[in-house]
Amino acid sequence: MIFMLTTQRGLFKSAFMAHLTSSVEYGLHCLLWLVGKEDQPLSSRDLAELQGVSPSFLAKIFPKLEKAGIVLSTGGVRGGYVLARPADQISFLDVVDAIEGDKPLFECQEVRGRCALFGGDAPGWATAGTCAIHAVMLQAEKAMREALAAQTLASVGARFGSKAPADFFSSFDSWAQGRARDRTARSGRSAKTTPP
Amino acid sequence: MIFMLTTQRGLFKSAFMAHLTSSVEYGLHCLLWLVGKEDQPLSSRDLAELQGVSPSFLAKIFPKLEKAGIVLSTGGVRGGYVLARPADQISFLDVVDAIEGDKPLFECQEVRGRCALFGGDAPGWATAGTCAIHAVMLQAEKAMREALAAQTLASVGARFGSKAPADFFSSFDSWAQGRARDRTARSGRSAKTTPP
């Protein structure tokens, strides 16, 4: 199976869909830009341009983050998204669950009950409790989820930020303020309001 | 996206392909039947019938397990598969890797280098080392893999077996011996040999 993802940079091809998808990847990158920027909302369109990714791709992600209480949409023509709670209270697991929903690592098909020796009528001992194979997969999923829960936007944002020179952040602030001015100017030319 | 998997029990529908797939699930169930049965090889056709699953589905899994040194194909008309090494030296991770191959939990698309502020020429500090988001995903994958590596066919087989009454194992042995006799009888009627 071949899956394709189109971004402004072109076409990515993969032989499979990774469990932690591009939606999660882009969502996390966007959220890291919002850390410490409670007074400087960014629209999903701004974030798409900033990162070279399709605006329609991000436009599908942000409503999920908003529904999960991870971002807030601030109204008005200069509106955009801000983090809905402190960055050290938003884990990677919160973001994965918000974007991916209920997506287990493994789907047990209860193979054990189908054994031909049971003649279509599996006894209670054969199907009681969780299948031993499923139990191992659940342990593996739990370990994965605990690793994701142990990291927050704050901890990873700090690592991200520690590499950048100070003038990078001032360039970013100037860029973000310019985008906010552009949105205000556009709204002056048109009464139509657009979602963040 | 909808993926479908056909088995003898019908059609399973899933809104996604789980990271640990049905191939892994069936592979593990088959291997558990081979634990402690070094003198009683089973063909992939036998194992398909035993578990109510398509023979062609299992026929694609066993060559991978053989290539990875997990099973051995024993020759001859009564041939089949046996474990290639002791069950306590075959981990769940060995089986997953044998069947799924190189399938990461997350595929980093190096979003960080695309930032519009770099004007198409990302500086070294921005792309040096592993992306901080990717690093978290690698930790999560490592935790998942360690959980899978900690369980062997022997440990899980013992849990599986502890639930079954003694007469279940004698029924299974009779069934397996009957299958071996059938293979011998079929070979007497035809000079044609079939792979296990």
pLDDT (tens digit per residue) in A69-111? 999 998 766 789 999 999 999 999 999 999 999 889 999 999 9
In a domain, A132, yes or no: no
Output the average pLDDT for chain A. Answer: 86
Rounded Cα distance, B83 and B37, in Å: 8
In a domain, A93, yes or no: yes
| Closest Cα in chain A to B113 | A51
pLDDT value for B95: 98
Residue B166 confidence class, pLDDT cut points 50, 70, 90: confident
Rounded Cα distance, A133 and B28, in Å: 7
Rounded Cα distance, A7 and A10, in Å: 5
Output the average pLDDT for chain B. Answer: 86
pLDDT at A133 over 70: yes
* B36 alpha-carbon distance from chain centroid: 18
In a domain, B184, yes or no: no
Best A7, A163, A173 residue to mutate vs chain B (most B CBs within 10 Å): A163
Of A126, A145, A171, the CB nearest to B117: A171
What's the complex ipTM?
0.87
Higher confidence at residue B47 or residue A179?
A: B47
pLDDT at A18 over 60: yes
All residues of chain A having their beta carbon less than 8 Å from the beta carbon of residue B105 are 18-20, 144
Residues 88-127 of B with CB under 8 A from A: 92, 103-109, 111-112, 114-117, 125-126
In a domain, B183, yes or no: no
All residues of chain A having their beta carbon less than 8 Å from the beta carbon of residue B50 are 115-117
Higher confidence at residue A166 or residue B188?
A: A166
B138 in contact with A, Cβ within 8 Å: no
In a domain, A74, yes or no: yes
Q: Helices then strands (H, E): number in chain B?
A: 8, 4
pLDDT value for B57: 93
Rounded Cα distance, B128 and A150, in Å: 24
All residues of chain A having their beta carbon less than 8 Å from the beta carbon of residue B148 are 136, 140
Q: How many CB atoms lie within 10 A of CB A99?
A: 23
Percent of chain A with pLDDT over 70: 86
The closest alpha carbon to B163, from A125, A43, A33, belongs to A125
Token pair for residue A47? 């974030």
pLDDT at A127 over 70: yes
In a domain, A28, yes or no: yes
pLDDT value for A184: 75
- Per-residue H/E/C for B29-45: HHHHHHCCCCCCCECHH
Q: Find the Cα–Cα–Cα–Cα dihedral A162, A38, B120, A171, rounded to 10°.
A: -80
Residues spanned by the domain of A83: 3-8+20-104+155-181
pLDDT at A162 over 50: yes
In a domain, A141, yes or no: no
Mean pLDDT across the stretch B125-132? 92
Q: Please count the structural domains in chain A.
A: 1
Q: Angle A44-51/A22-34 helices, nearest 10 degrees?
A: 110
Strands A80-83 and A71-74: antiparallel
Residue pairs spanning A and B at CB distance below 8 A: 168
Residues 52-91 of B with CB under 8 A from A: 52-53
| Closest Cα in chain A to B104 | A18
Mean pLDDT across the stretch A48-57? 93
Backbone angles phi, psi at A129, to 5 degrees: 70, -170
The closest alpha carbon to A116, from B183, B99, B106, B178, belongs to B178
pLDDT by residue (tens digit) across B137-158?
999 999 999 999 999 999 999 9
The residue type at B107: E
Residue B104 confidence class, pLDDT cut points 50, 70, 90: very high
Residue B5 confidence class, pLDDT cut points 50, 70, 90: very low
B3 forms bridges with which residues in the sheet? B14
pLDDT value for B8: 37
pLDDT value for B16: 59
Residue A189 confidence class, pLDDT cut points 50, 70, 90: low
Residue B13 confidence class, pLDDT cut points 50, 70, 90: very low
Question: What number of CA atoms fall less than 13 Å from residue B113's CA on the CB side?
Answer: 13
A17 in contact with B, Cβ within 8 Å: yes
In a domain, A72, yes or no: yes
Looking at residue A77, which CATH number applies to its domain?
1.10.10.10
- Per-residue H/E/C for A101-112: CCCCCECCCCHH
Of B51, B116, B125, the CB nearest to A114: B51
The closest alpha carbon to A116, from B172, B136, B128, B126, belongs to B172
pLDDT value for A30: 96
Rounded Cα distance, A113 and A148, in Å: 34
Backbone angles phi, psi at A139, to 5 degrees: -65, -40
| Closest Cα in chain A to B134 | A25
pLDDT value for B6: 38
Length of chain B in terms of residues written = 196
Q: Do B16 and A103 touch (CB under 8 A)?
A: yes
pLDDT at A131 over 70: yes
- 3-state secondary structure (DSSP) of residue A151: coil
Residue A32 confidence class, pLDDT cut points 50, 70, 90: very high
Q: Are B98 and B65 in contact (CB under 8 A)?
A: yes
Q: Are B3 and B16 in contact (CB under 8 A)?
A: yes
